[in-house]
Amino acid sequence: MSLGVFLGLFFYVAWPYGERFGPDTLSRKEWLPAEVFLWLDPLAGVSAAVAGRAWNVALLGAAGVFALGILAPRGFCGYLCPLGTLIDLFDWGIGKRVRWLRIRPIGAWRQVRYGLLTAVLAGAAFGVLLSGYVAAMPVLTRGLVFTMGRAQLAWMKNPGLLWAADAAMYLSVGLFAAVFLVGLLGPRFWCRYVCPSGAILSVMALLSIGRRKVGEKCNGCGRCARACPFDAIEKDFTARRLDCAFCQTCGGVCPTGAIEFVWGGDGAVKSLAGEGRGLSRRAFVGWGVGGALATGVTRRVGGEAKLLRPPGSVGEREFLGLCVRCGECFKVCPGSVLQPAGFDAGLEAMWTPVAVPTHAGCHQDCNFCTQVCPTGAIRPLSIEQKRRTRMGLAVIDAKLCLPHRGERDCQLCYDECEAAGYHAIEMRWVKLKMGDVPAGVVSDAEMAEMSRINAPLVDAGKCVGCGLCEYRCNSVLVRQQKLLGERAVNVVATGR
């Protein structure tokens, strides 16, 4: 059921517009917040809070999942995670048919997820968010945005709205595919041995009062071990508490009814619950140092230019610490104004949202991206607040602008700004350079008229950097009419 809810939120609620939309379009469709599953990924919320040095609403979701874990260890993995369900479908359709790739033994692989968890938390401690690369819900959401989300956009609206695929996007799709392809090594391989979101829940499971217990009726048939989707059962049929998700699959296949799932003490049932194995001290230090070194690499390999962020974005350093690179803001953006940053923006900013006005302008009646950010990297804004919030500043290049060059009248940018209601561009008379004109050829009044032209000028106090003017100039004068080699209006990022 959780997979169905997730897909409904992704393809319907997070598709909050048609050909025409209004300020209340998203709120009318949100029977459940589109970002709710991102709130429920505890690693996303915790790592963002540590890296961004700020509270975020996803911490409430993490607290709820941890509370669930007190009753049902790794209950999120066993009952709520839609990625786990998709992995099960892959295993059923493909994985079980490719058995020659499966590996044995697999004991050492159990430490990988704890290692990744250690690296992510170490990176967060140094202010760099690494969970967007490996946490379950950001990987799933971004993977679908870059694949099925693009297909939905092309099919239901227009292929021209798709942003150009680049190497960074293909890398993300490759990581998403790897989540499933590692299943060829063994059933639910990602969930069992790799997922750091599951690892943080396993650690919290040590506080759980839920127990899997095996009674005297056990005949040692081993069906429970073969059926367990999380490889949590040892050879003697004990359950590793760090791995057991309390899913009760083993109980369903037990022919003698020897398996019980209970809360509290042992009672009259023999307890065979093991504690499992975590990271060794050496591995813990190694993964922690690796996470710290990764922060240095991501910060060193950085872009130089300031990035034009969505309206309501917090300061750049805090933004990079809070943004989990889930791609939810791309999904709800009506005109594909928001696009993922690529390698040219630097490794730390990769996959974070950047406004690209040449592709589209930020519509004055849209605040959707501010409503779906799970960690507060983009603050929630009402339409009125959004219209007053500066993203950047439009700058007109007088060397390129047709009126400023004296070539012809043009007020496309002015008309667009007026239609949006910002009134940040004014048309003013500017003087033109005139050559020598013999006396008497034209009158003084005609000379005065010839030596001036109405040209656009930006009022910096009113401009919010929506990019509608840049889009208009680029689409009409550069692409359609080809009167300019490049656009004469550029929106530049300003410090927040």
Q: What is the pLDDT of residues 195-249, one digit of tens each?
A: 999 999 888 877 888 788 888 888 889 898 888 888 888 888 888 878 888 888 8
Rounded to whole angstroms, the Cα distance separating 329 from 197 reads 22
Percent of the chain topping pLDDT 90:
57
d(CA 463, CA 263): 60
pLDDT digits (tens, 9 = 90+) for 92-115: 999 888 878 888 767 677 788 888
| Beta-sheet strands, E only, within 403-461 | 425-431, 452-458
Q: Which residue, among 26, 131, 29, 13, has the nearest Cα to 363 in the 3D structure? A: 26
The CA-based angle 437-440-446, given to 5 degrees, is 70
Query: What are φ and ψ of residue 40, in 5° steps?
Result: -85, -10
Q: Do 138 and 38 contact (CB within 8 A), yes or no?
A: yes
Cα–Cα distance for residue pair 352/327, rounded to 1 Å: 8
Q: 239-240 and 273-274 as β-strands: parallel, antiparallel, unpaired?
A: parallel
Q: Is the pLDDT of residue 483 over 90?
A: yes
- C-alpha 152: how far from chain center: 17
Query: Closest Cα partner for 210 from 233, 239, 188, 250?
Result: 239
Nearest CA among 87, 71, 76 for reference residue 143: 87
Task: Locate 275 and state its tokens.
Answer: 């504690």
Taking residues 437-458, report their average pLDDT: 69
The pLDDT confidence band at residue 297, using thresholds 50, 70 and 90, is: low
Per-residue pLDDT reduced to its tens digit, 387-405: 999 999 999 999 999 999 8
Residue 110: strand pairing partners:
none
H-type alpha helices, 94-166 = 110-125, 131-134, 136-144, 150-156
Phi, psi of 43 (to 5 degrees): -70, -35
Compute the distance between CA of residue 68 and CA of residue 79 in angstroms, rounded to an integer.
Answer: 11
Strand partners, 396: 489
- Nearest residue to 172 via CA among 194, 152, 146: 146
Q: What is the pLDDT of residue 4?
A: 95
46, two tokens: 């915790």
pLDDT at residue 71, rounded to an integer: 82
Q: Cα separations (Å) of 105 from 62, 94, 101, 150, 240?
A: 33, 22, 13, 40, 17
Cβ neighbours for 78, distance < 8 A, ≥ 6 positions apart: 72, 84, 230, 245, 246, 247
Estimate to the nearest angstrom the gap between the alpha carbon of 418 and the chain centroid: 33
What would the mean pLDDT of 1-23 be, rounded to a whole number?
90
**Positive or negative CA dihedral for 178, 166, 36, 291?**
positive
Which pLDDT band, with edges at 50, 70 and 90, does 443 fall under? low
Q: Which of 44-48, 95-99, 260-264, 336-340 has the lowest mean pLDDT?
A: 260-264
Q: Is the pLDDT of residue 261 over 90?
A: no
Helix (H) or strand (E) holding 393: strand 392-396
Distance CA 151, CA 158 (A): 10
Are the beta carbons of 324 and 138 closer than 8 angstroms?
yes
Residue 451's pLDDT band, with cuts at 50, 70 and 90, is: low
Q: What is residue 434's predicted lDDT score, i.e. its pLDDT?
A: 61
Confidence of residue 273 (pLDDT cuts 50, 70, 90): very low
The whole-number pLDDT of residue 335 equals 85
Fold classification of 391-496 is: Alpha-Beta Plaits (3.30.70)
Tokens 């959401």, residue located = 141
- Domains of the chain, residue spans: 2-274, 391-496
pLDDT of 211: 80
As a whole number, mean pLDDT of residues 112-132 equals: 90
Is residue 271 predicted with pLDDT exceeding 50?
Answer: no
| Residue 283: per-residue pLDDT | 64
Coil, helix or strand at residue 205: helix
Inter-helix orientation angle 196-204/136-144, to 10°: 150
- DSSP lists the bridge partners of residue 210 as 263
How high does pLDDT run on average in the chain? 87
